[in-house]
Structure 1
Amino acid sequence: MRLIANAPVSFGVFEPGQPPLAAEELVAALSEAGYDGIDLGPLGYLDLGRLAGLRLAGGWVDVPEESFDDLDATLDAFGRAPSAPFRPVPTLGPPSMPARFARPGHGEPEMTDWAAFAAQVQAAADRCRERGYEPALHHHLGHAVETPDEIERLLELTDVKLCLDTGHLLLAGGDPVKALADWSERIGQVHVKDASSALMNGDLRSMMGAGVFTPLGEGDLDLPGVVAALRDYEGWIVVEQDTLPAHRRTADIVADQAANLRKLKELGL
């Protein structure tokens, strides 16, 4: 079985200031579109007792460097939301790197202390498992784990599963269809995201404002190939289209997320 969710990041909710949609409006839009679930978004944004029939798919939390307080707070939130048949997946985010954020997708400069970072990831993964959740490391443009080689290295140094993000992998030089096959045994969650390499200009924020993450089927992602590779996948699939709300009409963002789900359904997912 697989379930399909969307995420507040698709609506620019992580941006400073007033969210473009109130939580109840976002939940209603995703429920009406036919999604099975929703990602957590910023702690405190969602009313986890009022998800209009949606289940909680998971949520991002930075890899803890010292204290587990933020991780524990996220896991506490998970426990307050409906999630069956799959438990929410804590997606562990590697630290951002300003130089990479300024020039995303090139894997430069490289992280130097892999042993220390791997130990932090492993400790966070173990903490999640103590709490009854199976985490996944989310590679990300502008962060310490960005390229296919870095993902491979992290998988070798830890036993953590992978949150495979097709858009971030594509723009970092990876092949999402090949990755879904090569890392199938280690994938704990999939984020389906399209992207346009032609819009890789400037820093990551500028790229997002320019629409580098396109509606599904409008970028460079081999979407039919991704769908075919997910035929036997079981678990949460999260549709994401990272955006800056100041550059988009809210109505268009809402329409895009409904269209993204329709596109996946048309392809047989």
Structure 2
Amino acid sequence: MTFTGIANAPVSFGIFELTAGADFPEPETVLGPLRDAGYDGIDLGPPGWLGRGDVLRQRLRDHGMALAGGWVDLPFTADEAEFASSLAALDDALEIFVAAAEADPSRLPLPTLADSGSDARRANPGGGRHVMLDDAGWARLASNVARVAARIRAVGLEPTFHHHACTHVETPEEIDIFLDRTDVGLTLDSGHLIIGGGDPVEGWRRWSERINHLHVKDVRKDVLADVVRERAGMRAVWERQAFVALGAGDLDLVAFMDAVVADGFGGWLVVEQDVVPSPSDPPGRAAGDQRANREMLRSWVPLD
């Protein structure tokens, strides 16, 4: 296997910032099914959900899992005072990443940075070209990314940057600008690239030399088109279940994975299926979907 590992994410079980305040399941009820399905890593989820320090390290070891990465969004285009105040959250997350790295030094997590976006961008998934950054905005974003990257590298880890829907780094054009202005690697997210108007296979070919992290997710374009037309916002993308199990959406999984494997990518591959749980969901649906998603990757990454 060329990959560091195959991971899944708490967001596939509805555990992420959008659902904060919900009665999240205990980590063991997620880690166990993922390990049994053939995953050997997990993303962080909300900081603290997996535990901290010794609790986190022991929990990962007990399940034979490593921490692959974790979402850290920061207001990279904000003024100095707002940005500086956000760094406390970064430092809190870094303590967790360092603890996880100590549990498995051979498979290090990548703090996964993203821009916090803006109200205008959040209302317009798919790009919202009328609210793109100007040159001063790009200069501020690049400067702040450099500051954060230095902070992460100082603790022995390497950052990655996620182009995310409804942020200022979303479309292929914006990804190009980001890569030109920074030295940070890219998290290529197949689902979010489709939302941003890109093609995952073309994106891999275009940016493969800078990609150091993969999020593999499938998405239904018809659901996205409805959300964009209605200007319903990013929350509707999740709530209307635009993200679906691998093979159920518009991602050309075969072409994408063939390209990734042919180039010998050596980082983490994280399977994600962002969901907002509903009381009407069948029991065990999330775990079943993630077993099926791992099975879909068998051709490229055989199960042990």
TM-score (norm. length: structure 1): 0.95
What are the superposed Cα offsets for residues 190-239 of structure 1, whole Å, 9 maximum, x if unpaired? 00011111001232111211110110011111100111112110010100
Change (3 A) 1:265 1:118: same
Paired residue for 2:241? 211
Q: Could you say if the C-alpha distance between residues 147 and 250 of structure 1 is closer, same or farther in structure 2, counting changes exceeding 3 Å?
A: farther
| Contact 1:92–1:138, Cα closer than 8 Å, also in 2 | yes
Q: Which runs of 4+ in 1 moved over 4 A?
A: none
- Report the CA distance shift for 1:19/1:34 in structure 2 as closer, same or farther (over 3 A): farther
How far did residue 116 of structure 1 move? 0.5
Structure 2 match to 1:66? 84
Match of 1:256 in 2: 289
Question: Partners of 2:104 and 2:270 in 1: how far apart?
Answer: 14
- How much does 1:250 deviate? 5.1
Give the secondary-structure state (helix, strand or coil) at the position aligned to 1:79. helix
Shift of 1:20: 4.4
2:267 aligned residue? 235
- Superposed CA RMSD in Å reads 1.6
Distance 1:195 1:138 in 2: 17
Letter matched to residue 299 of structure 2:
E
> Who is 2:78 aligned against?
none
Does structure 1 conserve the Cα–Cα contact (< 8 Å) formed by 2:213 and 2:268? yes
Q: Deviations over 1:42-64 (max 9, x none)?
A: 11101312121111101111236
Aligned pair partner of 2:207 in 183, 200, 210: 183
1:110 maps onto 2:112 in alignment: no
Distance in 2 between the 1:250 and 1:154 partners?
42
Tell me if structure 1 keeps the 8 A contact 2:113–2:160.
Answer: yes
Please identify the structure whose Cα radius of gyration is greater: 2
* Number of residue equivalences: 269
Whether contact under 8 Å (2:110, 2:159) holds in the other structure is yes
Which structure shows the higher helix fraction?
2
* Other structure's SS at 1:21 match: coil
Q: Which deviates the most, 71-80 or 184-193? A: 71-80
Unaligned runs of 5+ in 2: 76-82
Query: Which residue pairs with 2:181 in the alignment?
Result: 157
Q: Which amino acid in 2 is paired with 1:111? A: L
1:265 aligns with 2:298: yes
- Separation (CA, whole Å) in 2 of partners of 1:126 and 1:17: 32
State the 1:107 CA deviation: 3.2
Matching residue within 166, 178, 192 for 1:168: 192
Percent identical: 44
Q: Quote the Cα distance in structure 2 between the aligned partners of 1:268 and 1:190.
A: 14
Which aligned pairs between 1:1-269 and structure 2 lie closer than 5 A? 1-2=2-3, 3-14=5-16, 15-47=19-51, 48=56, 49-51=58-60, 52-63=63-74, 65-67=83-85, 68-81=87-100, 82-108=103-129, 109-112=131-134, 113-200=137-224, 201=227, 202-231=232-261, 232-246=264-278, 248-249=281-282, 251-268=284-301
- 1:268 CA displacement: 4.8
Q: Give the secondary-structure state (helix, strand or coil) at the position aligned to 2:250.
A: coil
